[in-house]
A = this chain, B = another copy of it.
Amino acid sequence: MNIALVGVTGYSGQCLYQLLQQHPHVDQIDLYGHGTDNTYDLKENWPLYMNINTKIKPFDVAEILAQDQLIFFATPSGVTAKLALPFVEADFPVIDLSGDYRLATPTQYEAWYHKDSAPQWALAKADYGLAEFNDPTTAYIANPGCYATATLLGLAPLVQQNLIDLDTIIVDAKSGATGSGKQASAGTHFVHVNENLQLYKINQHQHIPEIVRTLKKWNSAVTTIQFNTTLLPIDRGILTTIYATPKQSITTQTLLQDYQQTYQDRPFVNVYPNGVPALKDVIGTNNCNIGVTYNEATNKIMIVTVIDNLLKGAAGQAIQNFNKYFDFPETTALPQTTLTF
């Protein structure tokens, strides 16, 4: 199988490229840049490929349509919207790691992303690929955002089974610095991030609408959620702490059973029988680990979820969607254990 990959130089693109190279059903990976002009060597961006003359070619729709069976977009939000259009039109298989096809309407997209949207007809053709709760029905898979993945997997049993007061949901999410992308700025300077902790995009994070859209599918009574993001002084990983008030009387034990039942056949989701996961428990894997607690004294549920933002939160889930799309075993080429301590 030949696969096209656009945008290999960002963190997610690099990660995706590594995973694709180990995929037993992928014979050839054609690398493309955003632009239409120049060819350059992968090694210019990546010491690892220093000794290898892999070319990144200019973007070429006709070539890709002729030669590949699927295209991955690991391009920035705002770029994919336009680049992907010919493939949407052709119903050619796409897995899109950007946020450009995750929302329902151009209006909503432009309100949260402050960039030009793909047209309505194109958005309508995309499937939101939260792999644990979606079986691909269209050729276009909008791969979920990293925060959205960690939040939705944490909230699914609560919202689907109508266990909580929906207006009490609070998500306090924390992410490592790869989540902010590779662009150098005052905000990604080592000295600004290291030995520090800071909230950002307060009440304005662009993953909020895709979270709410999915929650609404699960439970139409959802309106919105309080969701905040904090930048951690680490390379990778997302931990969400999710709070909610139960609708009726519960115990940690019944709650745990709900989670275990929901995820019993999902190979990448691990519900902890006791306690909550640490972030490092999943780094280097495609797993989402979940801890479930209920505090009788305050009548509050607290759920903790952890993922590797570049794997389950991006490239890993993209491969998982790829596997599902082509009916390969879901875990093909995806790490479930870790070499991290």
Chain A residues engaging chain B, CB cutoff 8 angstroms: 11, 14-15, 18, 21, 47-48, 50-51, 167-168, 170, 172, 174, 176-178, 182, 184-186, 188-199, 202-203, 224-226, 228, 230, 232-235, 237, 239, 241, 243, 270, 272-273, 275-281, 283-284, 289, 291, 293, 295, 297-300, 302, 304, 306, 310-311, 337-341
Contacts and interface: CB of A to CB of B under 8 A. Distances in A.
B191 A177 contact: yes
Given A190-B193, A192-B341, A202-B293, 20 more contacts: A18-B337, A50-B272, A178-B191, A184-B188, A184-B189, A188-B190, A189-B189, A190-B190, A190-B192, A190-B235, A191-B235, A194-B234, A197-B234, A197-B278, A203-B295, A226-B243, A226-B298, A226-B300, A284-B284, A284-B339
A89 B63 CA distance: 64
B182 A184 contact: no
A234 B302 contact: no
A189 B185 CA distance: 8
B228 A47 contact: no
B297 A224 contact: yes
Contacts of A277: 47
A341 B315 CA distance: 14
Given A224-B298, A243-B226, A50 B270 contact: yes
Q: Within the oligomer, what is the number of copies of this chain?
A: 4
Contacts of A339: 14-15, 18, 284, 310-311
Given A195-B235, A202-B275, A304-B199, A182 B189 contact: yes
Contacts of A225: 298
A341 B235 contact: yes
A95 to B, nearest CB: 18
Q: Which 8 A-B residue pairs are closest in the complex by CB-CB distance?
A: A198-B278, A190-B193, A197-B279, A226-B298, A196-B280, A177-B190, A172-B172, A184-B184
Q: Which of A170, A232, A237 has the most CB of B within 10 A?
A: A170
B302 A228 contact: yes
A42 B203 CA distance: 28
A266 to B, nearest CB: 12
A170 to B, nearest CB: 5
Contacts of A279: 195-198
A216 to B, nearest CB: 14
Contacts of A170: 170, 243, 300
25 contacts: A18-B339, A48-B281, A48-B338, A174-B230, A182-B189, A184-B184, A188-B190, A193-B194, A194-B194, A194-B233, A195-B237, A196-B234, A197-B279, A197-B306, A199-B241, A199-B276, A199-B291, A199-B304, A202-B276, A203-B297, A226-B302, A228-B241, A230-B239, A233-B233, A233-B234
